[in-house]
């Protein structure tokens, strides 16, 4: 459990909060590249870490991320004209470039000194892996751009999607790091003993802190001779990486891939989940059908979105369309869709879970370690120090995996090759 005060420090993300200052030291996913498909296309509303912003792609293709309101009289720039390398406010015509400089002020005399003085708040962006990343922290502390393995994968071999979640980022991240819930929440094969996760529902865990966060492994004894091992990572401040090399019944998948998520805080009570996936390597012979199946699976974020939004059709207002008959017969939850199952639990807790009321067990060790890292690094930022994992090189070579291994084999030796980046 956490004290009420620690819970506040970990869950508040806005400007001026300790948690917000910590999160601002890392590049954050701001939107998908596909949300800005054309040069000079319509700007897109982005709310990130409690700030209302606008993303726009200018004439040259560069992406600006700026204050949603004009510095003249605070008109909404969303209705602005995106033209000739700048966004022009439609109230009085002031125009700003992607750096936030005012490049035209037609409502003032030609010799005005105001134009040089007025700035629109603008944050640096980089586009990698189909995602626009933004840095909202102090300029002198800006890290090198993100360099995760999947960002280096060929566009034909990677996938990224996004889902809106009505909860604080921390309880969503906790759901991603939780080591034991997949044997329960995601069990669609009640009573099926060929299911690896059904055979051992109290996995043994190993964890180790690193310079990007930590890695953790869960080992399930599936029969006297064999273990099912999953090797995963937590990446500061809100990412995870997991492997999808093995089918639920234990066969190595043709379309082996590495998956992960980032839980980018919109504000204290809302989150965008970025789901990404990349193929094992460039030589993995993925047939179009393999990749389609892979996309359908790792596009968990896209199952059943309301058209033109990133919101799930199945949501708290309709109880995620829980089917109580199905729940009796076959599925642990009676809720369809892996992603939707996670949302039902995480959103159903309420927007910010009260962690002073919880009772943690041994299966919560990954969550406890993550909270400790966040708490310690929030304090480090307050003291003026750099938090763990801001250097993108710390996490550039890591990857996750899973495998069935003979019980007498040390997993760290057997999986050594699978644990390092191929891209």
CA dihedral of residues 62, 63, 66, 72 (deg, nearest 10): 40
Distance in angstroms (rounded) separating the CA atoms of residues 185 and 220: 17
Q: State how far the Cα of 79 lies from the Cα of 92, in Å rounded to an integer.
A: 12
Give the tokens for residue 83.
């033209």
Q: Which does 364 bind (CB under 5 to 8 A by kind): ligand FES, Fe ion, none?
A: none
Q: What is the closest distance, in whole angstroms, from the C-beta atom of residue 357 to Fe ion in the complex? A: 22
Residue 70 site contact among Fe ion, ligand FES, none (CB < 5 to 8 Å, cut-off depends on kind): ligand FES
Pick between residue 58 and residue 167 the one whose CB is nearest to ligand FES: 58
* The CA-based dihedral angle spanning residues 306, 308, 310, 315, taken in that order and rounded to the nearest 10 degrees: -20
Residue 310 backbone dihedrals phi, psi, to 5 degrees? -110, 20
Contact status: 118 vs ligand FES (CB under 6 A): no
User: Which DSSP letter does residue 69 get?
Assistant: B
Q: Is 68 in the site for ligand FES (CB under 6 A)?
A: no
Closest approach of ligand FES to the CB of residue 105, in Å:
8
Tally of CB atoms within 10 A around 218 = 24
Look up residue 376 and give its two tokens: 């310690």
Q: Are the C-beta atoms of 48 and 30 separated by less than 8 Å?
A: yes
94 binds, among Fe ion, ligand FES, none (CB under 5 to 8 A by kind): ligand FES
Side-chain-side CA neighbours of 396 within 13 Å: the count stands at 10
Instruction: Select the residue interacting with Fe ion from 174, 342, 402, 418 (CB under 5 A).
Output: 342
Contact range with Fe ion by CB under 5 A, out of 198-206, 289-297, 314-322, 337-345? 337-345
Cβ-proximal residues to 65 (8 Å cutoff; 6+ apart), any chain: 30, 46, 53, 54, 55, 122, 123, 124, 125, 132, 134
CB 27 within 8 A of CB 146: yes
Residue 237: cis peptide before it, omega within 30 degrees of 0: yes
> Taking contact as CB under 5 A, which single stretch among the options 42-50, 98-106, 290-298, 339-347 is the one that binds Fe ion?
339-347
Q: Which stretch binds Fe ion (CB under 5 A): 122-130, 319-327, 340-348, 379-387?
A: 340-348
Task: Measure the CA–CA gap between 198 and 402, rounded to whole angstroms.
Answer: 16
Decide: is 364 part of the binding site for Fe ion (CB under 5 A): no
- Asked whether position 332 contacts ligand FES by CB under 6 A, the answer is no
Residue 114 in the binding site for ligand FES (CB under 6 A): no
Number of residues this chain uses to bind ligand FES (CB under 6 A): 9
Among 94, 123, 215, 310, the residue binding ligand FES under the rule CB under 6 A is: 94
As a whole number of angstroms, the distance between CA 261 and CA 275 comes to: 5
The answer to whether 322 contacts ligand FES (rule: CB under 6 A) is: no
Q: Which does 92 bind (CB under 5 to 8 A by kind): ligand FES, Fe ion, none?
A: ligand FES
Question: Whose CA is closest to 162, among 55, 30, 7?
Answer: 30
Q: Does 96 bind ligand FES (CB under 6 A)?
A: no
- The DSSP letter of residue 233 is E
Among 54, 89, 401, 404, binds ligand FES (CB under 6 A): 89
Q: Which of 92, 99, 121, 186 touches ligand FES by CB under 6 A?
A: 92
> If binding is defined by CB under 6 A, does position 128 make contact with ligand FES?
no
Q: Which does 342 bind (CB under 5 to 8 A by kind): ligand FES, Fe ion, none?
A: Fe ion
Is 70 one of the binding residues for ligand FES (CB under 6 A)?
yes
- Binding residues (CB under 6 A) for ligand FES: these are 70, 72-73, 75, 89, 91-94
Q: Could you list the residues that contact Fe ion (CB under 5 A)?
A: 342
């Amino acid at each position: 459990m956490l004290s009420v005060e620690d819970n506040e420090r970990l869950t508040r993300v806005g400007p001026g909060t300790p948690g917000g200052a910590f999160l601002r030291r890392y590049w954050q996913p701001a939107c998908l590249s596909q949300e800005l498909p054309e040069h000079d296309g319509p700007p897109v509303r982005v709310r990130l870490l409690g700030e209302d912003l606008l993303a726009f792609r200018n004439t040259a293709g560069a992406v600006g991320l700026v204050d949603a309101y004009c510095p003249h009289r605070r008109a909404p720039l969303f209705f602005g004209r995106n033209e000739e390398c700048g966004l022009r406010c439609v109230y009085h015509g002031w125009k700003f470039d992607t750096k936030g400089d005012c490049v035209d002020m037609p409502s003032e005399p030609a010799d005005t000194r105001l134009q040089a003085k007025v700035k629109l708040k603008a944050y640096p962006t980089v586009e990698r892996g189909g995602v626009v990343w933004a840095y909202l922290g102090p300029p002198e502390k800006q890290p090198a751009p993100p360099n995760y393995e999947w960002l280096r994968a060929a566009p034909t071999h990677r996938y990224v999607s996004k889902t809106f979640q009505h909860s604080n980022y921390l309880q969503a991240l906790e759901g991603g790091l939780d080591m034991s819930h997949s044997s329960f929440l995601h069990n669609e094969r009640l009573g099926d003993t060929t299911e690896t996760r059904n055979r051992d529902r109290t996995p043994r865990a190993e964890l180790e802190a690193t310079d990007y966060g930590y890695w953790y492994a869960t080992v399930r004894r599936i029969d006297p001779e064999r273990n099912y091992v999953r090797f995963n990572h937590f990446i500061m401040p809100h990412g995870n990486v997991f492997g999808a090399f093995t089918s639920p019944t234990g066969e190595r998948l043709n379309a082996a891939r590495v998956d992960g998520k980032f839980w980018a805080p919109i504000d204290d009570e809302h989150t965008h989940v970025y789901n990404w996936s990349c193929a094992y390597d460039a030589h993995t012979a993925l047939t179009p059908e393999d990749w389609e199946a892979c996309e359908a699976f790792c596009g968990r974020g896209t199952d059943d979105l309301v058209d033109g939004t990133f919101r799930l059709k199945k949501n708290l207002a309709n109880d995620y369309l829980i089917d109580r008959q199905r729940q009796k017969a076959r599925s642990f939850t009676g809720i369809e869709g892996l992603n939707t199952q996670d949302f039902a639990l995480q959103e159903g807790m309420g927007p910010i879970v009260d962690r002073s009321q919880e009772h943690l067990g041994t299966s919560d060790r990954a969550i406890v370690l993550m909270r400790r890292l966040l708490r310690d690094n929030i304090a480090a930022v307050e003291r003026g120090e750099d938090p763990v994992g801001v250097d993108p090189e710390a996490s550039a070579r890591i990857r996750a995996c899973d495998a069935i291994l003979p019980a007498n084999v040390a997993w760290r030796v057997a999986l050594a090759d699978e644990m390092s980046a191929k891209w």
